[in-house]
Every structure is written in C-alpha cells, then in structure tokens.
Amino acid sequence: MTENNTTRRVAIVTGGSSGIGRETAARLGREGYAVAIAYGSSQAGAEQAVKEVERAGGRAIAVRADVADEAAVTALFDRVEQEFGGVDVVVNAAGIMPLAPLAELDLDVFDRIIRTNLRGTFVVDQQASRRVRDGGAIVNISSSLTLLARPGYSAYAASKGGVEAITLILARELRGRNITVNAVAPGPTATPLFLEGKPQELVDRIAAESPLERLGQPEDIAEIIAFLAGPARWINGQVIYANGGSAA
C-alpha cells in the first residue's frame, strides 16, 4: 500500500460523469481526495471527470457500475478498496428525470426512475453502510421538488422522497460508527439533467422564481456536499434544501 493510500481520504461519487456528480468529484479533488468516478454509460464524460480531479490535485479512477445492480456496486467498492485502501465518503449523485403528468407517465418509465433513483441509492447505501470507514460520511442527493411539487415531476419527486426516508433512517442505524448520513436537495440547477428538453423561456421563468434570480450551478451544490463530506461533523440525519430560496 502506498503512502497516498494511507493518508488520503477516499470518496466514491456515483453519477460522476456529469452535472452535480462531476463537479463534486472535482471539488473533492481540490480537497486532496482520491475519487472513484462511478458512471453508467458516459465513459468519455467519466474520463474527463478523472482529468478534472487530477488537475485539481486529487487522484481518480473511473469505474462503470449500474447503481441498482448489487453485484456491480459490490465490485465498485472492491475496486476502490483495492486501488485506494478504503472508502471514507460516498456521494449518491446518479439519477434520471423523465418528465410527464402522472396520468400520462408510462409505467415502464416509472419503474426505471424508481430503479435508478431509489433502488440505486438503497443498493449503494447498503454497501456504504458496511464498508465506509469510521469517521466517514454518506451524502445522498434528493430534490427540492419533494417540497416544490411542480407538475410533471410526480415520479421523480416520489423517488426522491424515498431517498430522504432512507437517509434519515440510515443515520440512526449507524449509531456508534461516527459516520454522518445526510441528503442535499437541490432546486433547479443548470445541469444537463435539468436543462434537457426545456425551452429557454421556461428555463428563464424557473430561474426567476428564486429571490437570487438565477438557477443553481453545479458548484453551488458541490460546495455543500464537500462540507457535509468533511468538516460538517455535527450535521447528521438532515435534508439540506439548496434552492436559492425558492418556495413551495
């Protein structure tokens, strides 16, 4: 085991090839973390994320893994422990967001949303609860849509409501381990996940809803995640709504 294996904190970031996950990986890299970029399909995005972490001063690898597949997630943790010596932080940023009114949403699409967003978080958290080292942190990504209740987002918001329940209960189940478990619930954030398929007029209207009169940026959310991953040791079992003051 190299010196870096024993001295660096190690993070796994799912959904690390784009959006909030990618920015979080780079942000942790600036803190000197070794980071595993877990991705589902975009190998090119994951490889670029690795370069961004390395430029920021961290070490990084990219690992393909279906977050809802228990064997794939187990293999992900195995690979990270082999490469870096252990796991201290897990960030669950993988997610999908197909939109439709409840009455029109295809149930196969609903099942995909639940499989990725809810089951995926559960499977990753299960491994994290067993393998994150004492003193570590688990950060799940929810959504302010659980409060904002915007039409068209019923399936997505339902999946994220489940993520919040998992977060609050797991924090209590890990009593005695000195591991914090929190969720960050972003509001509208300028990521490919949010922007895809939306006309500019709609994006501008949503941005104006916040008293700060803009969309969130991935770095806004990454800053909060990095805080929860490291110095925020007295924040535990909480959902942090990060939406610039948007109100339900």
- From first CA to last CA, the distance across the chain in angstroms is 51
Q: 33, 39, 153, 156: which one is catalytic?
A: 156
Cα–Cα distance for residue pair 104/132, rounded to 1 Å: 41
Burial class of residue 3 (count of CB atoms within 10 Å of its CB; 0-12, 13-18, 19+)? exposed
**Cα 125 versus chain centre, distance:** 11
- Active site (annotated) includes residue 156: yes
Specify the residue for token string 């190998």. Answer: 43
Cβ count near 152 (within 10 Å): 15
Cα–Cα distance for residue pair 168/145, rounded to 1 Å: 18
Phi, psi of 241 (to 5 degrees): -85, 115
- The DSSP letter of residue 65 is -
Q: Tell me the catalytic residues.
A: 156
